Structures are given as structure tokens and as C-alpha cells.
Structure 1
Amino acid sequence: MTVEAIRSKLLDGIPHGFLGRRGGVSKGPCAGLNAGFGSGDDPAAVAENRRRAVEAVAPGRRLVSVYQIHSAIAVPVSEPWGDDARPEADALVTNRPGLALGIVTADCTPVLLADRHAGVIGAAHAGWKGAVGGVLEATIAEMEKLGARREAIAAAVGPTIARKSYEVDEGFLRRFVDIDPSSEHFFSGGREDHYQFDLEGFVLSRLAAAGVTKVEALGLDTYSDPDRFYSYRRATHRNEPNYGRQISIIALP
């Protein structure tokens, strides 16, 4: 099966892609293009999947990723580091050609960013913890240090768990409302004492509040499309022993 790279029209001309599970070599619960080192998958299969992902999106580039910890930490990349030397962070930025920035997700929101005029790109892993903690704002700030202007940044929001698939409890809602009462509108009613959370909408609101106005959301639900995407929550609901991670990649032309 051919590797599927989903692209944003907003980032036309910038090598990038949101990849799902199609076109990989992994077997079992992680079957497909699993790019997650922490998935318990065969490391050789993960390495091959990552190689295929880069070739599908940005041939010849060197993939750089981080050890993701659901933080608000964004790091600049001036030269590649080995997979065993990945810093703990949840976003990367660079102005160096030849590098491909990659982040992995399995329901959390991948965001790829570019100021094409300044030649600066970024990739962010925005789960709810990172999003509410400021990972997108940190990514934009690091891009500005390299010469980007936030009014010129274009951001593509990739496959993530949709509101209809993301049930949360009262305590989860309160975490958000205690920080910002206006965030309550990202929660809609569900069964008793539960709500449906719009993570994609929340991420879009954080980008807008940060001054990024050129934004495209792909509107793809990881949970409800098991043939195309990995999903932590779906694997949990199915009592599966493990789950894969999809990778999102961006590089300079």
C-alpha cells in the first residue's frame, strides 16, 4: 500500500504532510506506518516507517524529532541529533534547509507552521495539556527568534480526535474553565456529568489569540477512522494491547 501524505492547501510549496497508518511495514496492533518509538513496536519497523514517511514528504531531508512529554516546550533545531539524543519537548522550529521536522500523535493535534518569506518552519504536538499550557505560543515565539513574523505564519491543523469522539468528565472541563471561563464553549453536553470536548476548535482559538490568522483545519477525526489513523482512545476502548503513532512532517523547500 502506498504511503498516504495528507496535505494542506495553505502550505502549498512547502514540503509537508500529515501521515496516517497507510503504507507502512508494522504488524499487529500497530499495523501500518507506525512512527512511534514508544509504541512497543519493532524498532526496525518504526525506523523503516519513518524513512518511508520522509521519502513521501521531503525526500533527501534528515528527520529530526523530540521526546514528547505533553509540555509547552519548543526547541530550535540547527543541526540533526540522533534518535537516542532527542530532547524532551513538544515542538521544533528551524530555518535550516535539509532538515525535516517531525512530531507524532495518536489523537492529539499536530500543527505544522511556516513563514515562507522568512524561511522558518515549525511543528507542534498539541494535546490538551500542551495546548492549554502554551505549546503553540512557545512555537510561534521560537519561530520569531529565527526571523518569522506571526502575521505571516501559516498554520495547518492535522488529523485529531473530534468533538463527537472526545468525551470528558466534569473535572476535565473545570481545568479549562478555571484558567479561562470563555473556554466553556468548547464543551457541549453529553451523557450525565460528561461533555464532548472540541480539541481542534480549542487549538484554532489558541492560534487566533496568538495572532496567527492564516489557518487551515483539515477536520479529520483520528478516532472514527481506524483504517486511516491511529487513536489512543480507540485502542483503550477496544482493550488493545498497544497503539501506533502517526507522524506529521514539514521541511523547507
Structure 2
Amino acid sequence: MSNTWHWHTGEHPYLTTTLLKNWSHGFFTRASWPSSPESLSQQLDGEAAVYRTKQVHGKQVLDPSEFPLDWQTSGRPEADAVMTLAPQQAAWVCTADCTPILIADEETGQVAAIHAGWRGTALGIVPATVKRLHTQGSRLNNLRIAMGPAIAGEVYQVSTQVAAEVGRSLVLQAGDEDQLLTQLHAIEPSPLLPDEQAGRVRLDVRRVNVLQLLALGIAPDQIAVAPHCTYQEPKSFFSYRRSREKKVQWSGIVSSG
């Protein structure tokens, strides 16, 4: 997972990874607020049709054929992942601590964008998206997956109950909360870090999503994780945990073919 990340400067700076060099993509920053994906998409590919949803912390995955014809005026459909079916379609998600994940298929050119907070991660939004891509002809070894800036595990305090709920999404032995936490701590490196407060731990959601992908058969070199934390980098990113503001940064990717 040692892929190179690059900043692109300008009015709307954004981050890219060499893992997705064959696709127009970008993880944008707080500097782009309140611009919409429709305007930001001009920096990636001005010809692409933009698709985005109303995110609800679930596991629903939609493709353009499942969007209402009048969705841009009647309201965005509810889902936390968008995948494409044809070239020149752009999938977008917004985050402010949750993990933005972009997936691209080297063979078909299809892409997907995922909003993965702890709730969506617990529900398996990433494996659900990979499954949907598979139904459209994707093979696991052709997928390239990038996880953008999100809150780092070292600063993300959650209850042990939440940690156990997220942990159940992994291929672990069944057990009660304490048993699940013990199994999670035993993973190397673990997605859990200790916390001084009783009944609390620090949770690395991106690490859990990586573990879910590895369990599916995705190889480590097919995954890139951005070395940026939304909570610890206030000049670059909004963080709901830090400020409680309902402001977001956008992430998008354009299908090719």
C-alpha cells in the first residue's frame, strides 16, 4: 500500500494517487466549500455526467440507471455508494471525517465512489460495492482502490460497543463484545488503539475497510490509503468531530473506456 500521493494546486486544490493515474479523480479540500461536484468536475473532466446521492450512513449502492430521470430537480436518491455503467460518468461522495473511497476497474474502466463512516463500514458498504461491480463484470484483481483523507484512528474515540459493532463486519469468530474486542486487538496492525477513558477505544475505520477488502481477496498493492487526517489538519479539511460544522469536502472519479 505504498502508493504515491500528489497535491494539485489552484482555486480548488485536490489530492490524487498514482494508483488511479489512469482515471480522472480527486479528493478535494475545505477550500472548495461550498462548490458543488458539478462545478468541481470541470477540473477532472468537463464532459462527464455527474452522479451523487443523499448519503444516509447505509449500504445502498446505486448506478445511473437507478437514478430517477428528474433526480436533479426532485431530489437526490438515498445511497452511500455510486457506481458507473458507461464511460464519461462521474461518481461523487462527500465526507467530513468519514472515509471517501474511490474504486476503479483497470479492465472495464468502471468506477465507484463510496462514503464509509463507521455505520456504513459496520454494514459492509465497501464489500457491497465490490459485489455490485462484480455483477457488472469486474474481477477482483483488476480493481484499484484509494481511501482518501479521513479521521485517523489515533484520534477517533468511540465506545467499545461501536468498536465491536464495526468489528463484526470482519471475518471473526462469533462472540460477545469482550471477545470481539480481544480478536480485534490481536490483528496486526490492529484497527483498535487504547484509550484512557473506561469503555472507550480509538478506532481506525480505514484500517477496518482495508481488512474487509483483504478478506475478499484484494491484494495489498491494490489499495492506497491517503496519509492525511481530517481532524488533525484543520487548514485543509473540515472535521465534524472537531468543529461540529455541517461542511464537507468532495471526492470524485470519472469512468473511462
Structure 2 length normalisation: TM-score? 0.81
Corresponding position: 1:233 with 2:233: no
Q: Partner residue of 2:7?
A: none
Q: CA contact under 8 A between 1:187 and 1:195: conserved in structure 2?
A: yes
SS of the equivalent of 2:90 reads strand
Q: How does 1:10-89 map to 2 (within 5 A)?
A: 10-22=19-31, 24=32, 33-34=33-34, 48-78=35-65, 82-83=71-72, 84-89=74-79
Distance change in 2, residues 1:120/1:50 (3 Å): closer
Cα RMSD (Å): 1.9
Shift of 1:90: 0.6
Shift of 1:177: 4.8
Matched AA of 1:188:
L
Equivalent-residue separation in structure 2 for 1:247 and 1:200 (angstroms): 17
SS of the equivalent of 2:196 reads coil
Shift of 1:154: 0.5
Q: Partner residue of 2:3?
A: none
Q: Partner residue of 1:38?
A: none
Matched AA of 1:210:
L
Q: Partner residue of 2:203?
A: 197
Corresponding position: 1:120 with 2:110: yes
Distance change in 2, residues 1:89/1:79 (3 Å): closer
Shift of 1:7: 0.4
SS of the equivalent of 2:54 reads coil
Q: Partner residue of 2:121?
A: 131
Q: Partner residue of 1:41?
A: none
Q: CA contact under 8 A between 1:78 and 1:96: conserved in structure 2?
A: no
Q: How does 1:205-224 map to 2 (within 5 A)?
A: 205-213=211-219, 214-224=222-232
Shift of 1:212: 2.1
Q: CA contact under 8 A between 1:118 and 1:148: conserved in structure 2?
A: yes
Q: Deviations over 1:206-251 (max 9, x none)?
A: 1111222210011210011111111110113xxxxx3311111011
Distance change in 2, residues 1:70/1:195 (3 Å): same
Equivalent-residue separation in structure 1 for 2:165 and 2:51 (angstroms): 33
Q: Which moved more, 1:184-193 or 1:130-139?
A: 184-193
Equivalent-residue separation in structure 1 for 2:52 and 2:106 (angstroms): 21
Equivalent-residue separation in structure 2 for 1:171 and 1:130 (angstroms): 15
Name which of 138, 151, 170 aligns with 1:161. Answer: 151
Gaps in structure 2 of 5+ consecutive residues? 1-9, 173-179
Q: Deviations over 1:172-208 (max 9, x none)?
A: 2333456642334321111121211111111111111
Equivalenced residue count is: 226
SS of the equivalent of 2:91 reads strand
Equivalent-residue separation in structure 1 for 2:88 and 2:137 (angstroms): 18
Structure 1 length normalisation: TM-score? 0.83
Q: Which moved more, 1:169-178 or 1:82-91?
A: 169-178
Q: CA contact under 8 A between 1:5 and 1:57: conserved in structure 2?
A: no
Matched AA of 1:154:
R
Gaps in structure 1 of 5+ consecutive residues? 25-32, 35-47, 237-241
Q: CA contact under 8 A between 1:223 and 1:234: conserved in structure 2?
A: yes
Equivalent-residue separation in structure 2 for 1:231 and 1:170 (angstroms): 22
Q: CA contact under 8 A between 2:37 and 2:92: conserved in structure 1?
A: no
Q: Partner residue of 2:85?
A: 95
SS of the equivalent of 1:7 reads strand
Sequence identity (%): 27
SS of the equivalent of 1:208 reads helix
Equivalent-residue separation in structure 2 for 1:74 and 1:51 (angstroms): 20
